[in-house]
Each structure stands twice: as structure tokens, then as C-alpha cells.
Amino acid sequence: MPHWTLKQLRLVALAEASGSYAKAAQDMGLSPPAVTAQMKALEEELGLPVFERIGGRLRPTAAGRELIRAYQRIALALDEAERALAAFKSPEQGLVVVGVVSTAKYFAPMALAAFRKRHPRIELKLVIGNRSEIIAGLATLDLDVAVMGRPPAELDAQMQVIGDHPHVVIAPAGHPLLKRRKLSPKDLSKEPFLVREKGSGTRSLMERLFEEAGVPQPPIAMEIGSNETIKQAVMAGLGLSFISAHTVAAEVADGRLRVLEVEGLPVVRQWLVVHARDKRLLPAAGALVEFLAREGARFLPNMPGGEGGRCFLPRMAD
């Protein structure tokens, strides 16, 4: 067993963050000579340097970076233990860190607000990011649970279905294709499209739609990392877009956007609540997962009647 102490590991992490032993000493309430002695003892124990000095700042060596990663894992485990002990005292309180992919922000906050009304002593921390960021948070166990639209194949996860997640092709009001019914993917293959970044779930679904139809991918007019910007660009007449119906329900309802009637659409996937299998869910997080699986579907936006076929999902009674 190594003889490193938790105090030494924390000093390494603080020194890396500030670039200075003096600042690490201040943060720990120690004198600079005491910190220097601790670091010297640690390096003697390791037989390796922990830091090198570049441009007046401390920079961790490969050995130092390994110690910092170890400290981060230990700090996370201690934080989980603290939360677990608090939960044992009162299952109706605690903190749940919830990751939400950006497309889900059109309904997830309302669902979380309803959960908080029912469990006012449970604190929620909301983290919104793209798919890769949310999966990374699940993998590092920084997130307790996440709401996303496609199972994370790169992660051993447990998941439950929240509800249907339809995808459609949208056009600006007055677009010539709106005069036609029952368009095929081939009819769209020469139209300029506004798309999400590579690797996004929405873009992968769009590419699969044209691939399975055996027609070329449409020309990309612009790659945009925000659904809000995509909607504005479509309204401005810059192109069509394949997008989650839940992100455009309001704009379709007031006529600013229209849904094209295309064979094979909508593509319906599911919204999921996910957590890493290695993540030990405390009672508060378990209550949230149960709530989203049981009642989350009633917070999904509705498309107006007649727009997008199966995208019209009857809202459950409150």
C-alpha cells in the first residue's frame, strides 16, 4: 500500500489548479514551508518528480497528472458517501445532478419543476450539453442521471423510456415543396439542408433516412450547433432541416415553420432517462428516474393537428 496521504493528493490538485505552492498552502491553511516539505516527502516516496516549473508556474509531470486523477476519483467517492449518508437520514432530501441533451431542454425543465413540487427537499442541479458532453458526464459518474434521445452505445448504462421522440423535416412558410403531398427522400436530396454538428443524434438519424432510401445525402448549406439558430435560419429561407419535432412545436403552431409531408416521416425514437450501471443511485435520484419514466411523457410538446402525422401526440391529462 502506498504511504501517500489524502492531504498530499489534495495539495497536488490545488497546486496544479493555481500553479503555485504558495496559493495551495493558503487554500489549505498551511505555511508555504509545510507544503514544500509535504511535496518533497511525496516525491521521495514516489521516486519521481510531481511538478516542473515552466514560466514561473507549476506544471504537473505525468506522475503528477496521475495523482490528480486519483484524487479526483477519491473526492468523487467521498462526495457520494456523504450524499449517501445524508440520504439514509432522510430519503426525501439530497442532491441529484441531471444531465440533459440540448434538444431535451424544450420539455425537461418543466418535468423537473413538477418533480421538485412533489419533492421540495430534493435539490436538482441541471447540466445541459451536447450528446458527447452528457455521455462523458455519465461515464465519469459526475452525472447521476441524464435525459437523452439515443442509447449511449459506448457506455454500459441502464435506461427507461420517457416517451416518443418524433423527427420531421421543416421548411419556411411559403416554400414551394409545401404545395406537394407525399414527398419522397429523393425529392429532398437536392435541397440545401441546415444540419447539426457531426456526431449529433439528429444528424445521424437524417443521414440514415437518406441512406436507407438509397438516395444521395442532400447538400449541406450550413452546419449549426444550435437548434435555435437552425430554426431561425430555416425561417430566413436558408434551407430545410431535419429536426426534433419537439424543438419546433411552438413555431409550427404559429405558422413560422411548416412540416413537410415526407414518406417514412416522422422518424420516431424515444426519449430516455439514463444512468451508468456503475452509478449507485441514491433514493433521491431513484425517485427522479421513477417519476420521469412514469410521468415524463405528459411534458412532451405537441405538434398541431395535421402536422407531421404521428407527431401529433395526445397530451396526457394533468
Collapse the DSSP code of 286 into the 3-class scheme (helix H, G, I; strand E, B; otherwise coil) and give the result. Answer: helix
Integer Cα distance of 36 and 56 in angstroms: 16
Same domain as 149, residue 28: no
Same-domain check for residues 20 and 139: no
Task: Decide if 144 contacts 100 (C-beta within 8 A).
Answer: no
In a domain? residue 45 = yes
Q: Do 293 and 229 belong to one domain? A: no
Task: Examine the domain organization and report whether 131 and 199 are in the same domain.
Answer: no
pTM passes above 0.85: no
The CATH number of the domain holding residue 35 is: 1.10.10.10
Given 61, 82, 103, which residue is the final one in a domain?
82
Contact in structure between 301 and 243 (CB atoms under 8 Å): no
Nearest-5° angle of CA 260, CA 263, CA 269?
A: 85
Whether 146 maps to a domain, the answer reads yes
C-alpha cell at 279: 452509478
Residue 247 and residue 108 share a domain: no
Residues 242 and 287 in one domain: no
Q: What is the DSSP string of 240-259?
A: BEEEEHHHHHHHHHTTSEEE
The predicted pLDDT at position 198 comes to 84
User: Tell me, what CATH number does 194's domain have?
Assistant: 3.40.190.10
On whether both 24 and 149 belong to a single domain, the answer is no
Residues 169 and 123 in one domain: no
Same domain, 155 and 214: no
Nearest to 162 by CA among 103, 202, 111, 115: 111
Asked whether residue 129 falls in the same domain as residue 62, the answer is no
85's grid cell: 449518508
Could you read off the pLDDT tens digit of each residue along the chain, which spans 318 residues? 577 888 889 989 998 998 888 888 888 888 888 888 888 888 888 889 998 988 888 899 999 999 999 999 898 888 878 877 776 666 678 889 999 998 898 899 999 999 999 999 899 999 999 888 999 999 999 999 999 988 888 889 999 999 999 999 999 999 999 988 889 999 999 999 999 988 788 888 899 999 999 999 999 999 998 899 999 999 999 999 999 999 998 899 889 999 998 988 888 899 999 999 988 888 889 999 999 999 999 999 876 655 544 444 333 333
Same domain, yes or no, for 229 and 92?
Answer: no
Nearest partner of 128 among 107, 98, 157, 156, judged by Cα: 98
Question: How far from 268 is each of 26, 31, 115, 250, 312, CA to CA, in Å?
Answer: 55, 61, 26, 19, 12
Closest listed residue to residue 266, CA positions, set 206, 197, 195: 206
* 154 belongs to a structural domain: yes
312 domain-assigned:
no
Whether residue 261 is found in the same domain as residue 168 = yes
Q: What is the domain count for the chain?
A: 3
Examine residue 284 and state whether it is found in any structural domain, yes or no. Answer: yes
Domain-terminating residue out of 82, 110, 141: 82
Task: Tell me the residue range of the domain where 229 lies.
Answer: 164-268
Q: Would you call the peptide bond into 266 cis, given omega within 30 degrees of 0 as the criterion? A: yes
In a domain, 318, yes or no: no
For residue 313, being part of any structural domain is answered with: no
pLDDT value for 100: 96
- Across the chain, where does the E strand assignment appear? 51-54, 57-60, 94-101, 122-129, 145-148, 157-172, 193-195, 220-223, 241-244, 257-259, 267-276
Whether 109 is covered by a domain: the verdict is: yes
